[in-house]
Amino acid sequence: MKNFSASIFAIDFEGSKKSGVVEFGVAELAPDGRICLAETSICSPKAALSARESSITGIDSAEASSFAPFEAHLQFFATLRLRGVFAAHNAAVEDNFLRSYAPVLGFVPNFFSGGRCNTWAPWLDSLVLSRLVGVDSPKLSSAAEALGVLEELQVLSCNLCPEGRRKWHCALYDAIASLLIIKKILSMPEFENISLSSLGALCGIKESGQASFL
């Protein structure tokens, strides 16, 4: 990441259109290559979780309703966006979640092409990047396995994730996995000197961005 001046924040949300965000996870990759922030919380749902949602995430409505709703954390995400770029595995999903709560931001830096924008976008996407290096499956777990980051994921999850939330479909665990995929790809010889704007272009970010820029 020798040509990066901004952090990458990998984000994962658990939830649905009906229930909203019921858990978030954020992990930060600093420009010097350190994973230096990890935050997560369960969030009170907008509507009762279905049995299927609970079985996937391991979160039930009774547990989640004792936490603050996701709206209470929006300022935290806005502050992160001032410091760097967001990333996710299939980033459109996370972008849609954020925009459902806050369609626009105040002006924030466009770290890819300069200037400012008022969107959560543009995003880096570990799904797109993993496909570029030959990973066929869209699954986060398959990409993590194919790129050899599972061992580091287990170590970091034991240190950073809450007990009982150190597995797939737990928000911080998945966010760390996405970040490790990006970090591993950036360590490959063909990527080690890449700029942030060039990395964004590989993720489909055109000169004008993935959304409207000002």
pLDDT of 104: 83
- pLDDT tens digits along 31-79: 999 999 999 999 999 999 999 999 999 999 999 999 999 999 999 999 9
pLDDT mean values, one per 10 residues, the chain (214 residues): 86 96 98 94 96 94 96 97 97 96 91 91 96 97 98 98 97 98 96 92 68 32
Q: Which is it for strands 20-29 and 35-42: parallel, antiparallel or unpaired?
A: antiparallel
For the chain, domain boundaries: 7-202
Q: Give the three-state DSSP class for 15.
A: strand
Is-contact 66 43, C-beta < 8 A? no
Task: Give the C-alpha separation, 16 to 52, whole Å.
Answer: 11
CATH number of the structural domain 7-202: 3.30.420.10
Q: Residue 88 forms beta bridges with which residues?
A: 125
Is-contact 164 4, C-beta < 8 A? no
pLDDT of 206: 62
Other C-beta atoms closer than 10 Å to the C-beta of 188 total 11
DSSP 8-state secondary structure symbol assigned to residue 69? B
**Residue 122: cis peptide before it, omega within 30 degrees of 0:** yes
DSSP 111-136: TTTSSEESSS--EEEHHHHHHHTT--
pLDDT of 212: 32
